Structure 1
Amino acid sequence: MFTESNAYFTVPHQFNVYLESWPESKGIPTEADLRSMQSVGLKLLSEVKELEASCLLQLRGLDNDAKAVVDFLKLQSRKVDLVLHHVLEKEVQTGDKFLGSHFGGSGISLTSKTALNVGDYFKTSIYISSELVAILCLCQVTQCQRIENESQTGSYNISLEFSQILDADVEQLVKASLNVQQKMLKMRKQSRQQSVE
């Protein structure tokens, strides 16, 4: 369970989330249980991501002559990730589909037409296509607020906190949130420059 001291920031971003009710009587799954629940495609993507991270870390120690090799390997790695992510998105998903609105290393937020009970647990599949992130974790609803604006009347903003998630998946989410934040800052800077001109 995450505490306030190890909370991460979240970024606004749209993504797909699938929630499947998880009875409290089952208890929190161990990391091994979580790994065994992953589909073959998800296991494969996780393995590839871990191998990439390890290899790229070793290559960073090489001198500038290796930069072209590192860039080429990053490109190859991205191609593999794209294919695996595409295959994963085509898999039959279990649970109800929701539109995610924010994500980070501690949890996610989503929009729902129905309220969810605070304290309920869900087996959660998260797919952030633009960042090539696909993970399976266990989440708990921490907040459910009715949206009061006219365009989304009858909808709810729901916050979920990770109850069990693999360390490598937290790392992926943190990197993806930093990447999204950088893109947002770059877009803001460009729009400011255009408004000055």
Structure 2
Amino acid sequence: MSELTLQQLAETYQDYFSVEHGISLNVRPLDCPLPSTDELAAAIPAPFLMASDVNSLNSSALRSLNRLGELAEELVNYLQQQARKIDLLLHYVLRQQDDESTRYITQSYSGSGCCYLADSALSLLQVVEVKLFLDNNDGAVFCYGQVLSCEQVA
């Protein structure tokens, strides 16, 4: 890829605000180009897909009940408690995807990337597989990315 592409990616990265916060992530370098959308969909681990499906179903079901008004309030509360139990179980299942050998802690993250300290340098534009584990049972993200910068820290 050209230097222009690296510059464009860096500018896109700057379009999002970042949060300086440490969360756990796995980063695994790959020896291949970025996958297509179909290849990404096929590579997503089953627990990540399951968590996404459960969240969609919970939101849809609760929206339907809210239309019933006051009569459904207790039922909604009960279902929210049940959804919370499922969320806790899914969090446990997602955490099983955390590979200690590729685990790092972010210094910051945003909608377009993350910054973390690693043991060894990666090449610019190196393709990586990333699993980002959000705090407080808020889920996890599976994605592919590219290295935009790599600096030695004393």
**Structure 2 length-normalised TM:** 0.74
Contact 2:18 2:109 in 1 (8 A): yes
1:6 and 1:129 map into 2 onto residues whose CA distance is: 23
Among 109, 132, 138, the residue aligned to 1:132: 138
Q: RCO higher in 1 or 2 (8 Å CA, sep ≥ 6)?
A: 2
Task: Tell me the SS of whatever aligns to 1:18.
Answer: strand
Q: What is the DSSP-based 3-state SS (H/G/I as helix, E as strand, rest coil) of the residue aligned with 2:76?
A: helix
Task: State whether residues 125 and 146 of structure 2, in contact with CA within 8 Å, keep that contact through their aligned partners in structure 1.
Answer: yes
Q: Quickly say closer, same or farther: Cα 1:86–1:16, change in 2 above 3 A.
A: same
Q: Name which of 17, 26, 37 aligns with 2:25.
A: 17
d(CA) in 2 for partners of 1:106, 1:97: 19
Q: Contact conserved, 1:20 with 1:94, CA < 8 A, in 2?
A: no
Q: Which amino acid in the other structure matches residue 131 of structure 2?
A: S
Residue number among 114, 122, 146 corresponding to 1:108 in the alignment = 114
Query: How many Å apart are 1:95 and its aligned residue?
Result: 6.3
Relative distance call for 1:84 and 1:5 in structure 2 (3 A) is closer
CA distance in 2, matches of 1:6, 1:100: 17
Tell me which moved more, 47-56 or 80-89.
47-56
SS of the residue corresponding to residue 144 of structure 1 reads: coil
Q: Note the C-alpha offset of 1:60.
A: 4.7
Pick closer, same or farther for the CA change 1:31–1:87 going to 2, 3 Å. Answer: same
**Identity in percent:** 24
Q: Is the 8 A contact 1:7 1:105 kept in 2?
A: no
Residues 1:90 and 1:127: Cα distance change in structure 2 (over 3 Å): same
> Contact 2:26/2:130 (CA < 8 Å) preserved in 1?
yes
Rounded to whole Å, the distance in 1 between the matches of 2:127 and 2:107 is: 19
Separation in 2 of the partners of 1:91 and 1:6? Answer: 29
Q: Give the structure 2 partner of residue 143 of structure 1.
A: 149
Q: What is the CA-CA distance between 1:86 and the residue it aligns to?
A: 0.7
8 A Cα contact 2:91 2:137, kept in partner: no
Q: Go from structure 1 to structure 2 and tell me whether the alpha carbon gap of 1:144 and 1:66 turns closer, same or farther (over 3 Å shift).
A: farther
40, 43, 53: which one aligns with 1:47? 53
Aligned to 2:122, the other structure's residue is in SS state coil
What letter matches 2:78 in structure 1? Answer: F
- Distance change >3 Å, CA 62–CA 28, structure 1 → 2: farther
What one-letter code is carried by the residue in structure 1 that aligns with 2:57?
A: L
RMSD (Å) for aligned C-alpha atoms: 3.0
**Which moved further from structure 2: 42-51 or 2-11?**
2-11
The residue that corresponds to 1:189 in the other structure is none
Stretches of structure 2 lacking an aligned partner (at least 5 in a row)? 1-7
Check conservation: 1:125, 1:135, Cα contact below 8 A: yes
The answer to whether the aligner puts 1:93 opposite 2:90 as a matched pair is: no
